[in-house]
Amino acid sequence: MGDAKSADLGLSNMLDASFCVEALEEVISKYGKPEINNTDQGSQYSGSSWIITLTEAKIKISMDGRSGYLDNIIIERLWRLLKQEAVYLHEITDSFQVKRIIDTWIGFYNSERPHTALDKRTPDIAYFGQAETRKAA
């Protein structure tokens, strides 16, 4: 991919703390601040700019332990599937293309792909079905 950073798309192929801080600030401004933020111990999350941003926003900091790979097993598996089933199948030339690839795959994963753990329902059906049940109760 030619460009290392594309802030307008929310993508970066660098382990850059400033990009992560910008993304965090954008999320807070759009959706409000979470009560707690959990990350791994990557350098972009253990550096002072990330910690200061969370502290100033009064967001509790949660960081996985060194051997905490099992803490994130579900999301790690999701990223692995995304890379194997979509990203690695294309010769990516720019950040617009990778955004389209990711958006298309996430849409497929959530709305078309049946999941064994969800009794062969899609996440959309499982989630929105539960949401409708909660509403009716």
Q: How many CB atoms lie within 10 A of CB 98?
A: 19
Residues 25 and 2 sit within 8 Å (Cβ to Cβ) = no
In order, the DSSP letters of 16-38 are: -HHHHHHHHHHHHHHH---SEEE
pLDDT per residue as tens digits for the range 69-127: 676 778 888 889 999 999 999 998 888 898 899 999 999 999 999 999 999 999 999 98
The letter for the amino acid at 107 is: G
Residue 67 has a pLDDT of 64
Domain(s) labelled CATH 3.30.420.10 in the chain stretch across 1-65
Residue 43 has a pLDDT of 80
The letter for the amino acid at 54 is: L
- Whether 65 shows a pLDDT value over 50: the answer reads yes
Class of the CATH-defined domain 1-65: alpha beta
More confident of the two residues 100 and 1 = 100
What proportion of the chain, given as a percentage, has pLDDT over 70?
Answer: 78
